[in-house]
Amino acid sequence: MVPRREKNKIVLICPQCKNTIEVTHSVEVGYRVKHEVEEEKRTKMAVVTGAERKLTEEERQLLEDYYKVFLETYMEAEETSSEEGSE
């Protein structure tokens, strides 16, 4: 029996013979759906957590230099686009 909502009522419908039963409170309390997934269909997931690595002074300096270059090129691009827009 499969539950289905029809006109604000819940009915149980047999998928084979299409017999319907209106759900009453007693059926509603006693109705349970149980489904087991076979072992080969289960998805297993490995969770890996890594320790956060600290940057070396050299890596930190490189990132800082890259960031400065990025900001300079971004500001130049903004200046040229604002000049083209005002012309």
- As averages over each run of 10 residues, the pLDDT of the chain (87 residues) reads 81 85 68 76 80 87 95 90 68
* Four-residue CA torsion sign, 61, 64, 65, 66: positive
pLDDT at 23: 76
pLDDT at 30: 64
Helices assigned H by DSSP within the chain: 25-30, 57-86
pLDDT at 16: 87
pLDDT at 4: 84
